[in-house]
Amino acid sequence: MPRRVEYFNSEKGEKRAMIVHIKPMNHGRYTQLQNLVRKNKNKTMVDEVLKRQLFNSKGEQLSSEQIENLPAGLPDAAYEEIRYISGLFRDKTQELLVKEVVKNE
């Protein structure tokens, strides 16, 4: 699904936006990738998730070289967007507010 992702390019010092094609992932797959990254210290979670969940406009997965050539800041922003649409992103402030509301009722 195409999504507009805003990111900060630290090399140029500017905030930009780009349309990326991403796919949500389930919790089981995310856990498998976490275990893979823990075993292999030379891999990062951002790279492993993007290899599997980031696509070009034709629906083809991007290669490792294409992911490395993305503008600075975009991989991290795309990773956070994937986590957000997958329901894997935890907003601690929102969780505290929900706990407070439930406690008061």
Q: For 47-93, how does the pLDDT look when each residue is reduced to its tens digit (9 = 90+)?
A: 999 999 999 888 888 888 888 888 888 999 998 889 888 887 666 67
pTM for this predicted structure: 0.75
Domain tally, the chain: 1
pLDDT at 94: 66
Radius of gyration over every alpha carbon of the chain, rounded to an integer in angstroms: 16
Residues in CB range of 45: below 8 A, 6 or more apart: 33, 34, 37, 79
Contact 64, 42 (CB under 8 A): no
Residue 82, helix vs strand vs coil? helix
pLDDT at 105: 65
38 token code pair: 């823990």
Domain residues for the domain of 83 are 2-103
